Chains A and B, each alone.
Chain A
């Protein structure tokens, strides 16, 4: 079945450093979504990417969908302590039937 992997599993950065998490699917995706879960909270939707090669920005966050629509990345510029949490990608397969979450990347930001 469809599998979605994320690397790294954990990342510790100093405040002000950049951070990137990568999401890879075993199958071609129709779209990909990114969610953020703060410690003790629930996942909150960040963005959805649909087109091959698409790049979207939200302030310091840059999301990219690969040309082959099998991978995606989230890059945070100049991390802040408010960026702490677990970032999940979730992909919908090309048949529109399977929606699978990756295991997440937990980000710690040291002040």
Chain B
């Protein structure tokens, strides 16, 4: 019962380094999402993909890129990491409009 799998779970980067956060879901969901969670801010949407082949910006897209590789996988890339991108990142997926999002366990990212 994997659901939504995120890798890695923890990562420490230096300013200016790049990395890709991976997300895969095995529930045949159409929509996938990337959020960041900061203390006192709740979850803020970075990018989402309504279906395979489409991606759209959310509330806080600057500094990030995404790829919807196929229906299962949705990756988030930081091209040049900045300390302001230190956060917990959640991937989520959803089957259709009335269904809730299913979340991965999160990636805790620290940028020094």
B and A form one assembly: no
Please list the residues of chain B having a beta carbon within 8 angstroms of any beta carbon in chain A.
none
Interface residues of A (CB under 8 A from B): none
